[in-house]
Structure formats: structure tokens, C-alpha cells
């Protein structure tokens, strides 16, 4: 049986080496937000385009450690095509997994146990919880996405 930690490491490295949804979008109609984690020097830039309450397209830029960039890649692949309502629940599930107090704006999954929300590859970041200083690396892209969506909703 393969070691779960090895599997997680492989998923993280795969996203780091082959980042999904890398690039830029035209603003407008997309919005752009930038996040920075001074503890590690990570930078994440998120472009997101909303259409009828759905994340129609998302692109990610920036640079930093493997955790921050792999997390941004996983986040982009997970949220594309989701409604903003699903996104709040994903955010809740992800932050709970990362042992962070979820944002009061992000309600828990409807059935209370997260079974309707699949974190998929994001589960590979679970191991980061053991290294508290890296949690900010893993959550940076989510904070940046939240910022971008707030901007999108403010300008809508
Ligand atoms: Zn980092």
C-alpha cells in the first residue's frame, strides 16, 4: 500500500510543476486580486470572471513556495464552474481541514458533514496542518479568491 504522505507529496508536486489555469484574464470583465504572504514571500494573483453567480473562468499567477503555488493550482481547478454559494461551502470545508476558524460568511455544508463538497486534490494539503508556519502558504490563494469575489460583487 503506498504511503499516504508520499501520495500527497506527489499530488502537490504535480500541481507545482504543472499548474492548472495559469495565466491572466482581461479586466474587466474579470477582476484581479493579489495576495501576499510575507512569512514566506509567497505571491498569488487571482483573476476571476463571474457569470450568473458561477465562476465562469479563473486564472492564477504569482510565485512562491511549492505549497502556495500548488494550493493555488488546486483551488483554481476545484472552484471553476462552481456557484459562489458552493464556493462558500468549499471555503468552509477547506479551512476546517486546515484547522482554521471558518469565515462567518462561509456557512457549513448543508448536511453538516461536508459529504456534498469534495475537496479532491486539496486533501493533499491536509498534511500541512502539522507545520503551522506553512498553513498561510496553503490558504493564501483562498484568501485572494475571496478578495477577488468581493470585488466582483462590489462592481457587479
Ligand atoms: Zn510559502
Domains, the chain, with CATH or none: 2-155 (3.90.1010.10)
Residue 114: count of CB within 10 angstroms of its CB:
18
C-alpha 151: how far from chain center: 17
| pLDDT for res 103 | 78
From the CA of 138, how far away is ligand 1's center (Å)? 7
User: How many angstroms is it from 127 CA to the middle of ligand 1?
Assistant: 14
Between CA 78 and CA 73 the distance in angstroms is 9
**Model pLDDT, residue 26:** 96
Backbone angles phi, psi at 51, to 5 degrees: -140, 115
Question: Which pTM does this prediction carry?
Answer: 0.90
Q: Ligand 1 centroid to 9 CA: how many Å?
A: 15
Distance CA 19, CA 56 (A): 18
Instruction: Say what the pLDDT of residue 65 is.
Output: 96
Q: Please give the chain's pLDDT, 156 residues, in tens.
A: 567 788 899 999 999 999 999 999 999 999 999 999 999 999 999 999 999 999 999 999 999 999 999 999 999 999 999 999 899 889 989 999 998 887 777 777 665 544 467 888 999 999 899 888 899 999 999 999 999 999 988 876
The pLDDT assigned to 153 comes to 83
pLDDT of 1 reads: 54
Return the exposure string of 20-33: e unless at least 16 CB atoms fall within 10 Å of the residue's CB, then b: bbeeebeeeebbbb
Amino acid at each position: 500500500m503506498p504511503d499516504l504522505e508520499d501520495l500527497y507529496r506527489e499530488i502537490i508536486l504535480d500541481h507545482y510543476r504543472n499548474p492548472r489555469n495559469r495565466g491572466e484574464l482581461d479586466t474587466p470583465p474579470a477582476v484581479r486580486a493579489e495576495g501576499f504572504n510575507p512569512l514566506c514571500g509567497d505571491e498569488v494573483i487571482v483573476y476571476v470572471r463571474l457569470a450568473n453567480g458561477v465562476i465562469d473562468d479563473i486564472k492564477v499567477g504569482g510565485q512562491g513556495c511549492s505549497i502556495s503555488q500548488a494550493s493555488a493550482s488546486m483551488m483554481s481547478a476545484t472552484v471553476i464552474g462552481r456557484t459562489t454559494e458552493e464556493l462558500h461551502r468549499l471555503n468552509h470545508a477547506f479551512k476546517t481541514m486546515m484547522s482554521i476558524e471558518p469565515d462567518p460568511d462561509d456557512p457549513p455544508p448543508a448536511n453538516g458533514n461536508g459529504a456534498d463538497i469534495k475537496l479532491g486534490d486539496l486533501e493533499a494539503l491536509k498534511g500541512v496542518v502539522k507545520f503551522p508556519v506553512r498553513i498561510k502558504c496553503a490558504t493564501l490563494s483562498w484568501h485572494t479568491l475571496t478578495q477577488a469575489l468581493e470585488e466582483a460583487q462590489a462592481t457587479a
